[in-house]
Chains A and B, each alone.
Chain A
Amino acid sequence: MIENVPAREEAETVHGPKPYSNPYVAGFGLGLVLLSAFVVMGRGLGASGAFSSLIAAAANAVAPQHTAANEFYAEYLGDGSRSPLLDWLVFEVIGVFAGGLISGALAGRIAKSVERGPSISKRRRLIFAFVGGALMGIGAKFARGCTSGQALTGGALLNVGSWAFMMMVFAGAYATAWFLRRQWK
């Protein structure tokens, strides 16, 4: 067994995941993608909006009268001439899944796992992920966008609400970090 250890380590350095990109290189690439959205479409990137369209479409399929009476859903459903899923952000987010898959596959980083610190159980981590996601969904709707649609897009456009939002995201996250340290450290 002991003899196998160096061999395995060697194998990992050959076939293991490649290191992540330099943050400034990745950031520059991300900035160019955002700029291309501005130049080509006249709009920025997004993520949470696609999930809103998905929910509005699902709710509309189940209870059309209910969604017609709700202004939030109505905004995503439009006039009904076109499926709410034939939406720019929905297609963009499908692309995000594909882009992540391509990059992850090329770098050997696709690995089934639950991301967590050493002192939290998998089950607990999955519950926390769900709760955090739910808060994120609610927060993104109040803010009219998430990290993509507000912080990134609005940040580059010098949008007042986006900059206020971005400061508050960092404030909220740093204020919470101490209480959640057992999940990550």
Chain B
Amino acid sequence: MSAPLFKFGLFGDNISLVLAFLIGIGFGFALERAGFGSARKLMGQFYLTDLAVFKVMFTAIVTAMLGIFYLGWIGFLDVSLVYLTPTYLLPQIVGGLILGIGFVIGGYCPGTACVAVSTARIDAISFLAGVIAGIFVFGEAFPLLKQFYNATPMGQITLPDLLHIPYGVVVFVIVLVAVGGFAGATWVEKAMAGRKGVQQS
């Protein structure tokens, strides 16, 4: 085992900040290449005209998931040292719903809005101002929200832990679901393009 490199003490906090900046550049570059600096492109997902959000997200998830799985398997990466956010099921379900609603009203999510600001989208500036306002409201109201925020704790738990199914099997099933999803997404795009053509003619 020699990774995660930071956890094995290959470099300190200051170098980690430089690496954060470099990794961020890669992140922003990939998001912009995908077209996620455009709210209208992102919203195509929810009007079924352009399912790039699903395709990009799941390709990324599958790529990273397979990468960790194999790097762990060959003994290079200690997967248990990769930080896993603890699950608090109920607040995460409610948070996800609020975030999904905010996505369609606002047109971006926080990461994509940064890229949109970089490519001079004025609405993304307004969106990020909203994000800051929202987090501030949450912070100020935290004493009232704390109980719900900490409700239904499940600890650091993965799907293989929860379902008692081997890690490799879950990985394999997600790959299959993703590939099926990609085929389905392309079919939906074609069907919607056909419908649009009929409406216009």
Partner of A161, one of B77, B103, B154: B154
- Min CB–CB distance B39 → chain A (angstroms): 4
Partner of A48, one of B56, B110, B142: B110
A131 touches B (CB below 8 Å): yes
> For B5, B102, B162, which residue has the most chain A Cβ atoms within 10 angstroms?
B102
B191 touches A (CB below 8 Å): no
Whether B129 and A130, one on each chain, are in contact in the complex, defined by CB atoms closer than 8 angstroms, is: yes
Give the chain B neighbours of A41 by CB distance below 8 A: 4-6, 16, 19-20, 23
Total number of A residues with any Cβ neighbor in B under 8 Å: 123
Per-residue A-contact encoding for B163-188, CB less than 8 Å = 1, 0 else: 00001001100100000001000000
Whether B68 and A142, one on each chain, are in contact in the complex, defined by CB atoms closer than 8 angstroms, is: no
Per-residue A-contact encoding for B148-168, CB less than 8 Å = 1, 0 else: 110000100111111000010
Whether A133 and B22, one on each chain, are in contact in the complex, defined by CB atoms closer than 8 angstroms, is: no
A to B contact number (C-beta, < 8 Å) = 541
Whether B106 and A136, one on each chain, are in contact in the complex, defined by CB atoms closer than 8 angstroms, is: yes
Give the chain B neighbours of A65 by CB distance below 8 A: none
Per-residue A-contact encoding for B59-80, CB less than 8 Å = 1, 0 else: 1111111011001000001000
B-contacting residues, A122-177, CB 8 Å: 125-177
Q: Beyond A30-B59, A135-B99, A172-B96, is A92–B135 a contact (Cβ under 8 Å)?
A: no
Whether B139 and A150, one on each chain, are in contact in the complex, defined by CB atoms closer than 8 angstroms, is: no
- Min CB–CB distance A169 → chain B (angstroms): 4
Give the chain A neighbours of B113 by CB distance below 8 A: 133
A68 touches B (CB below 8 Å): no
Partner of B20, one of A88, A99, A155: A88
A16 touches B (CB below 8 Å): no
Per-residue A-contact encoding for B20-31, CB less than 8 Å = 1, 0 else: 111111111111
Whether A100 and B77, one on each chain, are in contact in the complex, defined by CB atoms closer than 8 angstroms, is: no
Whether A133 and B96, one on each chain, are in contact in the complex, defined by CB atoms closer than 8 angstroms, is: no
Give the chain B neighbours of A132 by CB distance below 8 A: 102-108, 127, 130
Give the chain B neighbours of A112 by CB distance below 8 A: 120, 122
Whether A70 and B60, one on each chain, are in contact in the complex, defined by CB atoms closer than 8 angstroms, is: no
* Bound-complex Cα distance A183 to B46 (A): 12
Give the chain A neighbours of B98 by CB distance below 8 A: 135-136, 138-139, 142, 172
> For A92, A97, A100, which residue has the most chain B Cβ atoms within 10 angstroms?
A100
B binding-site residues for A, Cβ under 8 Å? 3-7, 13, 16-35, 37-41, 43, 45-47, 52, 55-65, 67-68, 71, 77, 81-89, 91-124, 126-140, 142-143, 145-146, 148-149, 154, 157-162, 167, 170-171, 174, 182
With A42-B82, A173-B46, A185-B47 known, 16 other A-B pairs at CB within 8 A are A23-B56, A27-B60, A30-B63, A31-B63, A35-B67, A70-B140, A133-B108, A136-B110, A143-B99, A152-B60, A154-B85, A167-B96, A169-B99, A169-B100, A176-B104, A184-B47
A-B pairs with lowest CB-CB distance, top 3:
A132-B106, A95-B24, A133-B130
A binding-site residues for B, Cβ under 8 Å? 20-21, 23-45, 47-48, 51-52, 54-56, 59, 70-73, 86, 88-104, 107, 109-117, 125-177, 180-181, 183-185
